[in-house]
């Protein structure tokens, strides 16, 4: 067996997604498998992958039913990829899409595979709902009963209240607070004003609306279920309209609203990664390269204001390893879970006092905000948890490919006080 210590460069070759839809709108009647399959099919068609054997497909969903087990493999089998293409499910909350890309990229870098697809999908419209413990126990007894009489005896124990479904709660297990609840604390602690949040949200919508009008997304999105663009996008949004919205989490003193926070969302995305050799053999363009990635976690139970700020540490560690400063980038893509969370990140980067307070070893400094989320981001497109990473990687790769050179930084926060970052270069 030949051994080599040479790592292969990992190229971003393609991208695709379906339009993102606010929960309980366009995708109410479809689930994770249909959405992920549609995103993969679009990628297969666009990059002439029909019948091709891909090294591996990796991805997953943050929220899925038991029948979504082995989700990515089932989706592969519904596409025209060679059915011998292996697949696996991964999950790390909102980091799922980009962590899947890191997983595939590492296999390519090590020479284990020549190409792979990373993806992510989430359906909030098709959210799993459990039954009460009492009803579950009764149904188990019914299933094991030996006679009709015995089954009826157990059925008669059911009361109307037992039939109420248990809807999953959108909250952190360790604190009982939702992400929005935590981010309200973030906004207050770091003094992020409602006006600044609304201004930031408006810019996201206007940037994305212009990108659509300019045709930037034309080769990035496969129409699905009646949508050809994200239905959360508000081209006609104004500061006056945003200012009229009521607080969504802290009803009395809150600054987070439906306008400066991402809504619950359905959608799917994927990216095609490959070695340079495979891309050239297939006649596919090399859009950019993944060069560094970093994951970090943060304590957020005692410091509840910091739930979504773990990327601060991931970025700092990654820059040290890359020998770069925060200012050495042509574009920045920071996932906009909430306007307040992005603004807090920027404020901490700029402030020696806040950098020390949160535990960073140094102050990274300010960035040129005109290079940040230049095509709009999650506040405009919305945020199907596991699908956001693929959307952002695709946008960054296209930006760098169109520019012809340069470097981009990606930062995504996630539940559980975690965050993942990546450097992409052309």
335 counts as catalytic: no
The rounded distance, in Å, linking the Cα atoms of 164 and 178 is: 22
Q: What value does the CA radius of gyration of the chain take, rounded to a whole number of Å?
A: 22
Q: State which H helix or E strand residue 393 sits in.
A: helix 388-403
CA distances from residue 294 to 314, 332, 410 in whole angstroms, order as listed:
5, 15, 10
| Alpha carbons within 13 A on the beta-carbon side of 360 | 27
Count other C-beta atoms under 10 Å from residue 220's C-beta. Answer: 20
Query: Which of the following is catalytic: 75, 115, 270, 413?
Result: 413
The rounded distance, in Å, linking the Cα atoms of 68 and 73 is: 10
Query: Which of the following is catalytic: 75, 94, 115, 270?
Result: 94
94 counts as catalytic: yes
Whether the Cβ atoms of residue 58 and residue 75 lie closer than 8 Å to each other: no
* Nearest C-alpha neighbor of 109 from the set 354, 338, 292: 292
Q: Is 86 exposed, middle or buried (0-12, 13-18, 19+ CB in 10 A)?
A: middle
189 counts as catalytic: no
Residues contacting residue 166 through CB under 8 Å, at least 6 positions apart: 129, 130, 131, 132
Enumerate the active-site residues: 94, 383, 413
């Amino acid at each position: 067996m030949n051994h080599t210590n040479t790592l292969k460069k990992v190229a971003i070759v393609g991208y695709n997604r379906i339009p993102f839809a606010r929960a309980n709108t366009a995708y109410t009647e479809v689930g994770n498998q249909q959405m992920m399959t549609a995103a993969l099919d679009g990628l297969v068609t666009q990059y002439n992958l029909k019948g091709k054997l891909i090294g591996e497909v990796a991805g997953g969903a943050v929220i899925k039913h038991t029948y979504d087990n082995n989700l990515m493999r089932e989706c592969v089998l519904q596409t025209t990829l060679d059915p011998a293409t292996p697949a696996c499910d991964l999950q790390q909350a909102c980091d799922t899409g980009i962590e899947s890309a890191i997983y595939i990229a590492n296999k390519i870098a090590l020479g284990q595979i020549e190409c792979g697809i990373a993806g992510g999908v989430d359906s909030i419209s098709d959210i799993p709902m459990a039954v009460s413990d009492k009803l579950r126990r009764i149904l188990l007894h019914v299933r094991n009963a030996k006679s009709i009489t015995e089954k009826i005896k157990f059925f008669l124990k059911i009361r109307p209240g037992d039939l109420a479904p248990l809807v999953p709660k959108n909250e952190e297990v360790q604190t009982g607070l939702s992400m929005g609840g935590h981010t309200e604390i973030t906004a207050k602690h770091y003094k992020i004003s409602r006006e600044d949040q609304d201004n930031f949200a408006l810019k996201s919508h206007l940037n994305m609306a212009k990108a659509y009008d300019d045709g930037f997304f034309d080769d990035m999105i496969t129409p699905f279920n009646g949508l050809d663009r994200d239905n959360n996008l508000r081209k006609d949004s104004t500061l006056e309209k945003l200012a009229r919205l009521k607080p969504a989490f802290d009803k009395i003193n809150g600054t987070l609203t439906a306008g400066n926070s991402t809504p619950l969302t359905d959608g799917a995305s994927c990216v095609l990664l490959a070695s340079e050799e495979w891309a050239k053999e297939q006649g596919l363009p090399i859009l950019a390269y993944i060069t560094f990635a970093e994951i970090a976690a943060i304590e957020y139970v005692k410091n509840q204001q910091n739930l979504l700020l773990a990327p601060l540490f991931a970025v700092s560690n990654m820059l040290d390893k890359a020998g770069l400063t925060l200012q050495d980038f042509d574009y920045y893509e920071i996932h906009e879970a909430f306007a307040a969370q992005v603004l807090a990140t920027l404020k901490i980067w700029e402030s020696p006092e806040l950098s020390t307070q949160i535990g960073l070893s140094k102050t990274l400094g300010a960035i040129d905000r005109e290079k940040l989320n230049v095509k709009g981001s999650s506040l405009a497109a919305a945020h199907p948890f596991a699908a956001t990473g693929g959307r952002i990687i695709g946008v960054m790769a296209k930006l760098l490919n169109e520019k012809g050179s340069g470097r981009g930084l990606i930062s995504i926060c996630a539940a559980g006080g975690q965050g993942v970052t990546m450097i992409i270069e052309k």
